[in-house]
Structure 1
Amino acid sequence: MEMSAVRNAIADAARAVTLPAGTAALTSTGYVPDAVTAPHFFCAEYSVDYDRAMNRALDEVELTCRVLVGRADDKSAQAILDNLLAGSGPTSLKTAIEAARGAPGDYALGGLAHDLHVTRVQGYRWYEHQSTQYVGAELIIKIIGEG
């Protein structure tokens, strides 16, 4: 798998969320940005388990992504974050990202990976990015594909 392309495709998929009226549109990058325009989703660290099948047939990646929301008002910021972390619905990052799995029998992310699955949310807390504080959380995505 070409991880730069995979990360960019996941960021593209995340942009499909529809936030409530009056909320800024979600910005999204496949890399850790220097500056954040909140709300912002980005792909961060990842780990790779090589050779999950013989002859480099399959690698398994665990990708950590973050979503950060501005904290002008702590209560409304957390409401926006909760919408983004929902398990389903038009505001759900899980739904938007998993839509990039494609139809049954198709490869995920337009052929970049065999499959992906958003497995969990963790680290719901305040984050500091470039000396600015945001409320945010991490999404963990399991991705499998050719080695």
Structure 2
Amino acid sequence: MQITAVREGIAAAAAAVVMPEGTAKLKSYAYVPDDVVAPCFFVAEVDITFDKTFGRGTDELTFTCRVLISAANDRTSQRLLDRLLSGAGEGSLKQAIEVARGVPGELALGGAADDLHIQRVQGYRWYEHAGAQYVGAELVIKVIGDGSS
């Protein structure tokens, strides 16, 4: 499993989320951007567990991704963040990303992994990025795949 391909697949899946009318399209990055143009989603840290099965059969990647919303209007920003963090609906990042799992028996993320699952949301709070303040949260995504590739 190649980390770059997984990052890019997650970012592409997140970009498919439907934003409310009158809201800017979600910018989605495979890596931490230097500057944020909100609303923004990016794949940040990765933890790697090798050899979940014998013979380099399966590795497990745990990605921490962040979604940041402009802090221009506290209530509006938090409502938009709530929508993105909901478990279902066209504005749900969980739903948009998990579509990339494919149908049963199909590889996830366009063949980059065996499967993925959004485990949790954490850190719903104010974030500083490149000197600016945003309201945001982290999504923790577990990805499993072939350890020998």
TM-score interval for Structure 1 and Structure 2 normalised by the shorter chain: over 0.9
**Equivalences for residues 47-86 of structure 1 within 5 A:** 47-86=47-86
TM-score by length of 2: 0.98
Secondary structure class of the residue paired with 1:79: helix
Runs (5+) with no aligned partner, structure 1: none
AA at the equivalent of 1:146 = D
AA at the equivalent of 2:119 = T
AA at the equivalent of 1:75 = R
Q: Measure, in 1, the Cα distance between the counterparts of 2:62 and 2:98.
A: 15
Runs (5+) with no aligned partner, structure 2: none
Secondary structure class of the residue paired with 1:117: strand
Aligned to 1:133: 133
Q: Measure, in 2, the Cα distance between the counterparts of 1:133 and 1:55.
A: 46
Question: C-alpha offsets along residues 71-127 of structure 1, whole Å, 9 cap, x if unaligned?
Answer: 110110000000000000000000000000001100100110000000100000000
Secondary structure class of the residue paired with 1:55: coil
Aligned to 2:27: 27
* Aligned residues with identical type, % of pairs: 59
Q: Measure, in 2, the Cα distance between the counterparts of 1:41 and 1:52.
A: 29
Q: Measure, in 2, the Cα distance between the counterparts of 1:15 and 1:44.
A: 15
Q: Measure, in 2, the Cα distance between the counterparts of 1:74 and 1:63.
A: 27
Is 1:8 aligned to 2:11, yes or no?
A: no
Instruction: Kindly report the root-mean-square deviation, in angstroms, between the aligned alpha carbons of the 2 structures.
Output: 0.5
Q: Measure, in 2, the Cα distance between the counterparts of 1:71 and 1:30.
A: 23
Is 1:18 aligned to 2:48, yes or no?
A: no
Secondary structure class of the residue paired with 2:144: strand
Secondary structure class of the residue paired with 2:52: strand
- Number of equivalent positions: 147
Aligned to 1:111: 111
- TM-superposed CA distance for 1:19, in Å, is 1.1
- TM-superposed CA distance for 1:5, in Å, is 1.1
